[in-house]
């Protein structure tokens, strides 16, 4: 642990990833975090929260990624995860029609939850990216592009990708940055990956400005999802402090 004062954090955003099992959510997340490997054998998700820290043009950014797969059968937990999200990535497999139907339902659930939170019906412009994965298996395609556009509308942000051969992933990651108001250098190909130790050193106020010129990012090795009470505070905002003096009643003349 480095005992140094870090420069202020410019931006903290959370991406919430949702979708049916076996559609490739974990593989996409690994690509985003800079992992060049690809696992052919499916394994259920064990890690569901990741955090990547960036130094870009002298500013610090933090992007948290929550894979909410484990909450698929727990509507209340899933709803809380949705409410904490700043950007949403809904993943389905182009070979699996049911997985596409599920993300359509999830999309409506996001609209409904966010509308209730903001007490507004005008939430159709939420930062949501629809991701059709496994285009490398195009011969066994079960969801056609025309069907997707018809179900979601022409104004949806849609990418058909392959986490296996990286088709369209960079373009999708750039869209995530644009929707979140982040620098495009958060794309994996546009920054250098460094260790968390090196990142903390560069982040200190006594950092070498020349070393900070190159965009870089570090995956936090000990990232853990905040507690549910912390997530509730994130959603509801800070509690209103108690007044020391009573509020005077308005006298109607």
- When the pLDDT of each residue in the chain is averaged and rounded to a whole number, the result is 83
Instruction: Write down the pLDDT at residue 186.
Output: 94
Residue 148 pLDDT exceeds 90? no
Percent over 70 (pLDDT), the chain: 80
- CA 95/CA 116 separation, integer angstroms: 34
Other C-beta atoms lying within 10 Å of the C-beta of residue 223? 16
Higher-confidence residue of 190 and 40: namely 190
Q: Say which range, 33-37, 111-115, 247-251, has the weakest mean pLDDT.
A: 247-251
Instruction: Write down the pLDDT at residue 43.
Output: 62
Other C-beta atoms lying within 10 Å of the C-beta of residue 35? 15
Mean pLDDT across 131-144: 88
* Tokens, residue 17: 């990833």
pLDDT confidence bin for 31, thresholds 50/70/90 = very high
Q: What number of H helices and E strands is found in the chain? A: 7, 8
Higher-confidence residue of 64 and 39: namely 64
Residue 251 pLDDT exceeds 50? no
Residue 239 pLDDT exceeds 60? no
Nearest Cα residue to 93 out of 34, 42, 33, 25: 25
Mean pLDDT across 32-58: 77
The residue extents of the domains of the chain are 9-236
Instruction: Write down the pLDDT at residue 249.
Output: 41
- CA 221/CA 234 separation, integer angstroms: 23
Residue 243 pLDDT exceeds 50? no
pLDDT confidence bin for 63, thresholds 50/70/90 = very high
Overall fold of domain 9-236 = Rossmann fold (3.40.50)
Using one digit for the tens of pLDDT, what is the confidence trace for 116-132? 877 665 556 789 999 99
Using one digit for the tens of pLDDT, what is the confidence trace for 150-176? 898 878 899 999 999 999 999 999 999
Mean pLDDT across 205-227: 77
Other C-beta atoms lying within 10 Å of the C-beta of residue 151? 15
CA–centroid distance for 127 within its chain: 10
Mean pLDDT across 214-243: 80
Nearest Cα residue to 24 out of 220, 218, 178, 160: 160
The torsion defined by the Cα of 180, 185, 188 and 194, in degrees rounded to 10, comes to: -120
């Amino acid at each position: 642990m480095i005992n140094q004062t870090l420069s202020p954090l410019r931006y903290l955003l959370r991406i919430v990833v949702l979708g049916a099992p076996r559609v490739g959510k974990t593989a996409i997340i690994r690509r985003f975090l800079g992992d060049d490997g690809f696992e052919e054998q499916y394994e259920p998700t064990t890690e569901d929260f990741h955090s990547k820290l960036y130094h870009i043009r002298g500013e610090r950014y933090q992007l948290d990624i929550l894979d909410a797969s484990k909450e698929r059968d727990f509507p209340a937990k899933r709803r809380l995860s949705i409410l904490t999200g700043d950007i949403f990535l809904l993943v389905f497999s182009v070979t699996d029609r049911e997985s596409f139907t599920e993300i359509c339902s999830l999309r409506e659930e996001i609209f409904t939850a966010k509308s209730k939170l903001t007490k507004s019906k005008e939430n159709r412009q939420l930062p949501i990216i629809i991701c059709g994965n496994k285009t490398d298996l195009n011969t066994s395609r079960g969801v056609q592009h025309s069907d997707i556009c018809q179900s979601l509308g022409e104004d949806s942000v849609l990418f058909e990708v392959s986490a296996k051969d990286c088709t369209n992933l960079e373009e999708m990651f750039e869209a995530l940055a644009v929707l979140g108001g982040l620098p495009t250098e958060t794309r994996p190909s546009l920054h250098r990956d460094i260790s968390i130790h090196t990142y903390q050193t560069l982040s200190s106020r006594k950092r070498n400005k020349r070393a900070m010129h190159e965009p870089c990012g570090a995956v936090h090795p000990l990232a853990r999802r905040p507690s549910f009470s912390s997530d509730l505070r994130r959603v509801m905002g800070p509690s209103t402090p108690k007044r020391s003096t009573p509020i005077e009643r308005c006298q109607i003349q």
